[in-house]
Amino acid sequence: MSKPGRTILASKVAETFNTEIINNVEEYKKTHNGQGPLLVGFLANNDPAAKMYATWTQKTSESMGFRYDLRVIEDKDFLEEAIIQANGDDSVNGIMVYFPVFGNAQDQYLQQVVCKEKDVEGLNHVYYQNLYHNVRYLDKENRLKSILPCTPLAIVKILEFLKIYNNLLPEGNRLYGKKCIVINRSEIVGRPLAALLANDGATVYSVDVNNIQKFTRGESLKLNKHHVEDLGEYSEDLLKKCSLDSDVVITGVPSENYKFPTEYIKEGAVCINFACTKNFSDDVKEKASLYVPMTGKVTIAMLLRNMLRLVRNVELSKEK
């Protein structure tokens, strides 16, 4: 009997967003001398993957009506000044940096140099802190929307597309009853993603090399913060147990060799990989109902959607 598992491509998920983005850019152009918003990308390394990503963001953003300016910085020690210059340049609407630059903690410093008003990737501390506390706006009047980091947001949008978010349930509760496992607990994607899903009602198993934690929605009404419980040190047994309990398996292990064991996947689970390498084996569809092998195209749609939100925030701030 053939298995009914289907592959869903990120390009398919991105389509609906892309139409909306293109329309919004068209509207923007009408009041800006026919010019789209300007996205500046900073490339300060020779990493071929980063270069490819730069070419690809340029192509995508320009195809959707944005202007894109790639600024190649030969000496990475001048990157910080170049970002500060762009922060202060009114003609620049959005800024992104192709990491890694130094490949160490200095990159986290650089992330915070991009001013939050132009941070299309949503990496600013303020945005992460709002995410963790389920705060949706930057101001008390709820006019300026907080930005969500691109990749976690892309995965939420994919889960919505796949109907894992049930829109019969009230907003903020649409993952109620769902269990997810996230293999990655980086500060950039894995931990914020687990918090986002928990804040929407899911039970989330969060896995890193050291241990496995369970994220659930917190009880604290004031801060709406998710709750984290340590389940134990990492072991194959614990991983298998948590994974077989999960309706959704999300992987993000940046290694060519890593493959999530297919036998740990619950029959009919949804599998999503956000790593650049293939984290699932070819036989994943023997178990998965829906399989999303890559998420990049949704991530870039979210990046451009964030950019339009930032443009709108600036306009609203001026109106005040």
Q: How far is the CB of 251 from a copy of itself (least distance, A)?
A: 19
Q: How far is the CB of 35 from a copy of itself (least distance, A)?
A: 28
List 277's β-bridge partners, or say none: none
Cβ–Cβ under 8 Å, residues 37 and 311? yes
CB atoms within 10 A of CB 239: 18
In the 8-state DSSP scheme, what is residue 36? P
List 207's β-bridge partners, or say none: 183, 212
Question: What residue ranges bind a copy of itself (CB under 8 A)?
Answer: 77, 80-81, 84, 105-106, 108-109, 112-113, 125, 128-129, 132, 186-187, 191, 220, 223, 225, 227-228
Nearer to a copy of itself, 60 or 206 (CB): 206
Nearer to a copy of itself, 179 or 226 (CB): 226
SS3 state at 116: helix
Distance CA 256, CA 116 (A): 34
C-alpha dist (Å) from residue 294 to 101, 107, 146, 174, 195 = 24, 25, 26, 24, 21
Cβ–Cβ under 8 Å, residues 258 and 279? yes
Residue 61 in tokens: 């953003």
Q: How far is the CB of 8 from a copy of itself (least distance, A)?
A: 31
Query: 209: annotated binding-site residue?
Result: yes
Nearer to a copy of itself, 79 or 288 (CB): 79
In the 8-state DSSP scheme, what is residue 41? E
Query: 186: annotated binding-site residue?
Result: yes
Catalytic residue among 115, 150, 242, 271: 150
Nearer to a copy of itself, 56 or 109 (CB): 109
Query: 120: annotated binding-site residue?
Result: no
Query: 242: annotated binding-site residue?
Result: no
Determine whether 115 is an active site residue: no
Residue positions forming the annotated binding site for NAD(+): 185-186, 208-209, 274-276
Which parts are annotated binding residues? 185-186, 208-209, 274-276
Which positions are annotated as active-site residues?
150
